[in-house]
Structure 1
Amino acid sequence: MAYVKSSSPLPLPAHHSKDCMSAATKRYKYMRRMFKFNQMDFEFALWQLVYLFIAPQKVYRNFQYRKQTKSQFARDDPAFLVLLSFWLFFTSIGFAIVLDLTFFRFVIFLLYVIFVDCIGAGLLIATIFWYISNKYFRQSTDQDVEWAYTFDVHLNAFFPPLTILHFCLLFFYTGLIGDHSKFLIIGNTLWLIAACYYIYITFLGFSSLRFLQHTQVILLSLPIVIFIYIFTLITQFNITRALHRFYVLRVLP
């Protein structure tokens, strides 16, 4: 298989070869490397995290490169997942401090964030997009969308909202859960930005697959999100305060 030069400014993965492996072999290799940090390309994964903020479209150029070299779009290196898990843990500590949680409640909060907000929601969203993309977006039956790739798209789209809502938002949290209208606008706007990031990066993930069509349908959710944002400002509905109450109720014994 011939190599195609990538135009992305991201560094190329450290581990790549021309050999094509079966799906079962790829899954086994991925799981086997999950706890072997010396075999992970953390530099490449860190570059992806950075570019998901400043130029997410360039991240998917490297997914195209992976398809050309390894016959799969999905990641074969768990380094990105490890860094995302670490960042999720770190931001959850910040939330626990702001919410003044005990250690026991922090553990409950962390388990909810990891297994419900990230993984649970990700499994559901990935499965829905996997079904829709293969059922309605494919131009032919010669290729199909890998479920693992749809989950990777979710993880990509999840990182910017996680940083905005679980890190940046913490610096204004005391004011955001109050009654001041200025902070309400700031908080709700951060939620709008996070939602737009998630939708746009998800769109990029599927539009980058050349055998799919009509992926722009995903962007139709943007006007809905903007309408909800305007509605919250008109009704003075504080999204951050509602989330605060939800988080507190979730960790109560």
Structure 2
Amino acid sequence: MLPRPINSSSAGSSSKYRRRNIIRSLSYKFNFDLALLQLFYLTISPRRFYRQLYYHKQTKNRWARDDPTIAVIIAATLAVSGLGWSLSLHLGWRGLLKLLFRMLLVDYVLIGGLISTCFWLFANKFLTQTPTYTTTNSQSIEFRYAVDVHTNGYFVIVLIIYLIQLFLYPLLVKDEWICTLFGNTLYVVALLHYVHVTYLGYAALPSVNNSELILFLASVIIVLYLASLVGFNVSRACLSWYFGRDF
């Protein structure tokens, strides 16, 4: 008996069903509405964001988030800013690819991973306490959570340093003190916001003590900022170093 031929309509419907399942699973994995709302709170009210993180811990029983949408949005923002810088500086296609490689892989992944590791080691070494009744540090911080904290703070740096500076750099690099003041202030606001978000991220953990030690970085940043106002243009120096040309 010959096998019955496959019904093309049923095969097509099954492929559509599989595609629909893939799209549905991706929609569960990537919640862009929630991620955009969280990024909004991280920008204007980080404390509110970390208060909501407590409810995530109660429902998911973990501090690290399982939704990679925020990381994807930041990567997309970096890609857009890279395209903008490439067009503004006439870097060409090869220059664009090199810039995207540097922004996404070097700045975002490699340096971000290094900074996350440093904070993770510092927090587990100096900010957590091992209970006296156990020999293992059950209060240790997840590395994924340290990456989340860095990503949360990095978003405003991306907005200010990578995007806003793109539109203002012709003004910021001028040899005038008011331009130096404005440009240096942009950098210090971005860095202080990063420190603030990082502090709140570790302070939200019940196992963390003395999280105020992180705020020492803010004092260092402010001192360097005040010293730079003597006449050191941070924006011009950073752009000249980053792009390898004089501004």
TM-score, normalised via structure 2 length: 0.83
Identity of aligned residues (%): 34
Q: 1:67 aligns with which of 57, 78, 83?
A: 57
- Cα offset, 1:38, TM superposition: 5.5
Tell me the distance in 2 between the aligned counterparts of 1:98 and 1:179.
20
Q: 1:37 to 1:245 in 2, by over 3 A?
A: farther
Aligned to 2:176, which of 180, 185, 192? 180
Letter in 2 for 1:114: L
Aligned equivalent of 1:117, options 107, 118, 135: 107
1:241 pairs with 2:231 = no
1:191 corresponding residue in structure 2: 187
Instruction: Using the TM superposition, give the Cα deviation of residue 136 of structure 1 relative to its aligned residue in structure 2, in angstroms.
Output: 1.7
| Corresponding residue pairs, total | 217
Which one has the largest radius of gyration?
Answer: 2
Deviation at 1:128? 1.3
Q: Which runs of 4+ in 1 moved over 4 A?
A: none
**C-alpha separation in 1, matches of 2:224 and 2:234:** 11
Letter in 1 for 2:47: Q
Q: Please give the alpha-carbon distance, in whole angstroms, between the structure 2 residues aligned to 1:39 and 1:131.
A: 29
CA distance in 2: counterparts of 1:249 and 1:144, whole angstroms: 42
* Residue in 1 that maps onto 2:68: 78
Match of 2:147 in 1: 151
Question: What is the CA–CA distance in structure 1 between the aligned matches of 2:191 and 2:222, rounded to whole Å?
Answer: 9
* Shift in Å, 1:99: 2.1
CA–CA separation in structure 2 for the residues paired with 1:111 and 1:55: 31
Is residue 138 of structure 1 aligned with residue 128 of structure 2? yes
1:100 to 84, 90, 93: 90
Question: Once the 2 structures are TM-superposed, how far is the Cα of residue 195 of structure 1 from its aligned partner?
Answer: 0.7
Root-mean-square deviation (CA, aligned residues, Å) is: 1.9
- Which digits, 9 at most, give the CA deviation of each residue in 1:218-242, with x for residues without a partner? 00111111111111111x1111111
Which consecutive residues of structure 1, in runs of 5 or more, have no partner in the other structure?
Answer: 1-31
1:49-60 alignment to 2 at 5 Å?
A: 49-60=39-50
The answer to whether 1:40 aligns with 2:4 is no
Report the Cα offset of residue 133 of structure 1.
1.3
Q: Which runs of 5+ in 2 are unaligned?
A: 1-21, 131-136
Residue matched to 1:91: 81
Query: Partners in 2 of 1:163 and 1:157 — Cα distance?
Result: 11
CA distance in 2, matches of 1:78, 1:204: 20
Q: Is 2:217 the counterpart of 1:231?
A: no
| More helix, by proportion | 2
Deviations 1:59-100 (A, max 9, x none): 112222222111211110111111111111112222222222
1:66 and 1:73 in contact (8 A); partners too: yes
For 2:238 and 2:85, locate their aligned partners in 1 and report how far apart those are by CA, in whole Å.
Answer: 12
CA distance in 2, matches of 1:187, 1:104: 29
